[in-house]
Structure 1
Amino acid sequence: MDVQELEAFWWIAQTGSFNRAAERLYLTQPSVTARIQSLEKELGQVLFERRPRGVRLTDAGRALLPHAERVLQAIRKARQAVSDLVSATGGTLAVGSALTTSTYILPEILARYKAAYPGVEIMVRTGRSQQIQQLVLDDTVQLGLVHAPVAPNPELLTVPLYAETIVTVAHPDHPLAGRGEITLEELAGEPFLTPDRSSGYWSVVEQFWASAGLVPHVTMELDSIEAAKRMVMHDLGITMLPRSCVEREIKLGQLAVLRVRDAEKLTRETVLIHRRGKVWSGLVRSFLGVLKDMYGVDIDLGAPAA
């Protein structure tokens, strides 16, 4: 059953006239007649009774009308859904995010995006960076925000977004908090907390200690950054965390940053990952525009979808 035939049928039913239906469809009256004849032939039923002042539906036509309306409405919705994706006025954006990024960075990104594109629904999936990488490869999410380094994969493209320092934090009343620059040797005897050794940035911390030929005096192993933060806030030791994770507590005076010599080399990079060669909608491109405004990166995904 042809959609154009159903459109002609619906307009004739609404206007009661082949001529008026032809005007609405920007067609000639013979073209509309041909479409109805083709539809009637397929159904094996006459759909309209010809009368002196127009036409009216037969029993078969009345039976067909609600189904034709549902089909045409579904087509209109489908067209609108695609249009919304292009214009970023609707649809669903699926983003994958590493755990710490989803907690401390992603809320601001999404708040800015929703302010600019309120009609878009957002789905967020969180996990370890390698888990998010797989979600991108599986097309479960359109884009991923993860921490470098990313395991090489010929199907993925990686775009650096920003780098942040990893800072050493202690309770504000800690004896070292009021000092100037301190050495790693001075920290070696302090109670040290590990906030989830499987976290991607922790290998950078371990390499930093190892490069000095030292090992921290670990007194507590925790499974989250938040837990480690709370322990430090209760003066139970010191730890090293990405700056974004402790920015608020530093501003409130709940944590103090220790100035450790050579610690400027302690950084963590957050990157955007996406599938190579995909055709991107305006919805995704609008999200990338927000990232560009926030971080000054220009992400080239190729030509937009037609």
Structure 2
Amino acid sequence: MNINLLKFQIVELVDKHRRITAVADLLGLKQPTVTYHMKTLEQELGVKLFEPRMDKIILTEAGKALLHYASKINALAAEAERVVGEFGALARGTLRIGASYVPATYMLPRALSRFAAHFPGVTVQVAVKPSPIIQQMLMQHEIDLGVISTEPLQLPPLALRTICEDKLVLICAPGHPLEAYPMLTPALISTANLILHGKDSSTRQMTDRWLAMWGIKPQSHLELDSLEAIKQAVMQGGHASFISKVAVQSEVERGLLVAKEIPEFQYSRSICCAYNRDRHASDLLHHFIGYLTPAMTESPAAPVKEVLERI
């Protein structure tokens, strides 16, 4: 048995208006078409649903029993149509984002705030993980968008757009021995007690390559996964650390930390937004990318088509 939605609508309208002419007008159908659907519905269910009485049509007891479900089905169908329509209008939906630590902590909050102000019905879920893990999540279609700090990479399914440079610097506290040197050397850095990032982070991977290039094996070091924990530990005065310049900009400006150029550092890294080309890119995804782009910051409502064409 296959009862289409039109027949459920007819049941509900017959109960309300009790005239076939009124039902036909409301549905934009001819009277014989409505009558046909009424008869075929009775045949499909094997029971009489409609009963002529004087110049009206009323529901039988079986028809009233069906009306209970027809009303619910019609309401659900209307709700489904409304919700789907709102997706198209960017009024509702869910966007799943994966972000590495630097953009998640220092960039996403402002973008999320502005996005939410314009699309309050949209749910945004953010997973904060190291960049390599975010890349895998994108490859496995577990998230819609990645916002990551990464070196140049070639992963054919992934489309990337650079948002800004994410340079590494060496930080220490004011008064630390390294502060006195206008320019650091690998030999000087080798004397410092270092705080290293967790092994899964892109910062740690770049740091390890630089240390290996100069044959530096830290004699004493701490290992922390949290950017904020690293900054707080360095502020105590006994350690130095390789860290994103974006992550320490505020502390450097306030004189809480000192940032030094890393000598002979040949690795470049950028904060990028990335998505999987094999995955359907929704309008929500397209618009959120616009909020991550510096050119869109001052005018969030600006079109994002040009941004997407450059990805």
**2:308 corresponds to 1:299:** yes
**1:280, 1:301 within 8 Å by CA — same for their partners in 2?**
no
**2:250 corresponds to 1:248:** yes
Does 90-99 or 195-204 show the bigger shift?
195-204
Does 24-33 or 275-284 show the bigger shift?
275-284
Over aligned residue pairs, what C-alpha RMSD do you find?
A: 2.7
Compute the displacement of 1:235 (Å). 0.5
Q: Letter of the 2:5 partner, please give it.
A: V
Q: Letter of the 2:81 partner, please give it.
A: R
Compute the displacement of 1:30 (Å). 1.6
% same residue: 24
**1:88, 1:286 within 8 Å by CA — same for their partners in 2?**
no
Once residues 280 and 261 of structure 2 are traced to their aligned partners in structure 1, the CA distance between those partners, rounded to angstroms, is: 47
Q: Could you tell me which residue of structure 1 aligns to residue 235 of structure 2?
A: 233
Q: Could you tell me which residue of structure 1 aligns to residue 279 of structure 2?
A: 278
**1:160, 1:272 within 8 Å by CA — same for their partners in 2?**
yes
Once residues 276 and 290 of structure 1 are traced to their aligned partners in structure 2, the CA distance between those partners, rounded to angstroms, is: 20
Q: Could you tell me which residue of structure 2 aligns to residue 93 of structure 1?
A: 95
Once residues 210 and 278 of structure 2 are traced to their aligned partners in structure 1, the CA distance between those partners, rounded to angstroms, is: 38
Q: Letter of the 1:6 partner, please give it.
A: F
**1:109, 1:290 within 8 Å by CA — same for their partners in 2?**
yes
Q: Could you tell me which residue of structure 2 aligns to residue 127 of structure 1?
A: 129
SS of aligned partner of 2:307: coil
**2:195, 2:224 within 8 Å by CA — same for their partners in 1?**
no
**2:52 corresponds to 1:43:** no
Q: Could you tell me which residue of structure 2 aligns to residue 28 of structure 1?
A: 30
Compute the displacement of 1:210 (Å). 4.6
Compute the displacement of 1:266 (Å). 5.3
Does 270-279 or 150-159 show the bigger shift?
150-159
Q: C-alpha offsets along residues 106-137 of structure 1, whole Å, 9 cap, x if unaligned?
A: 22221121112111011122323333233223
Once residues 101 and 177 of structure 1 are traced to their aligned partners in structure 2, the CA distance between those partners, rounded to angstroms, is: 27
- Residues 301, 45 of structure 1: alpha-carbon distance in 2 compared, 3 angstrom cutoff: farther
Q: Could you tell me which residue of structure 1 aligns to residue 108 of structure 2?
A: 106
Compute the displacement of 1:152 (Å). 4.8
SS of aligned partner of 1:273: strand
Once residues 92 and 301 of structure 1 are traced to their aligned partners in structure 2, the CA distance between those partners, rounded to angstroms, is: 24
**Aligned 1:4-19 pairs, distance under 5 A:** 4-19=6-21
**Aligned 1:49-198 pairs, distance under 5 A:** 49-149=51-151, 152-177=154-179, 179-198=181-200
Structure 2 alignment gaps of length 5 or more: 299-303
Once residues 97 and 61 of structure 1 are traced to their aligned partners in structure 2, the CA distance between those partners, rounded to angstroms, is: 55
Once residues 254 and 81 of structure 1 are traced to their aligned partners in structure 2, the CA distance between those partners, rounded to angstroms, is: 50
SS of aligned partner of 1:67: helix
- State the number of aligned residues: 300
Once residues 53 and 280 of structure 1 are traced to their aligned partners in structure 2, the CA distance between those partners, rounded to angstroms, is: 55
Compute the displacement of 1:214 (Å). 4.8
Q: Could you tell me which residue of structure 1 aligns to residue 301 of structure 2?
A: none
